Structure 1
């Protein structure tokens, strides 16, 4: 499997407050970004996989709503996560 429990804990420890803090917006955004990148690579090879395309679009929407939440709550946390994950060019 491409995403193991250890990999998730590592992401939450790096981007969230701790490895057990799976509810922080930064940790969830990092997890969604990892999954989005994985699905994007999959779709480059399998162009007709429409169920994966739908899942990718749903993930992008979830990440966008979390980013919108961070903009409203704390703009500095938003800027930090954007810079850390390199979501903007």
Structure 2
């Protein structure tokens, strides 16, 4: 499994503030980014996997809506997170 408990805990600790703060916007965006990167690598090897491609598009949409929410809520955190996760807009 590519996403273990330790990886999740580390992501939320780094971006969400603590390991138990799994509902924070920053933590969710970081988790989605990690999953998007994994699925992108998978699709580079398996270009005919259309179910994974659909899942990837849905994840990108979810991340986009969370980023829009964060942008409205706190622009400084938004800019910091974009830079930290290397997400270009």
- TM-score normalised per structure 1: 0.97
Matched, 1:83 2:83: yes
Quick check: 1:38 aligned with 2:19?
Answer: no
Q: Distance in 2 between matches of 1:57 and 1:88?
A: 16
TM-score by length of 2: 0.97
Q: Distance in 1 between matches of 2:46 and 2:7?
A: 25
1:56 equivalent to 2:56? Answer yes
Q: For residue 15 of structure 1, report the CA deviation from its aligned partner.
A: 0.6
How far residue 17 of structure 1 moved from its aligned partner, in angstroms, is 1.4
Residues paired across the two proteins, number:
89
**Structure 2 segments unaligned to the other structure (5+ residues):** none
Q: CA deviation at 1:88?
A: 1.9
Per-residue Cα deviation, 1:36-89 (whole angstroms, up to 9, x for no partner): 000000001101100000000000000000000001111011011001101128
1:26 aligns with 26
Q: What is the distance in 1 between the residues matched to 2:6 and 2:46?
A: 28
- Cα RMSD, aligned residues only: 0.9
User: How far, CA to CA, are the matches of 2:57 and 2:87 in structure 1?
Assistant: 16
The unaligned stretches of length 5 or more in structure 1 are none
After the TM superposition, which parts of structure 1 deviate over 2 Å for at least 4 consecutive aligned residues?
Answer: none
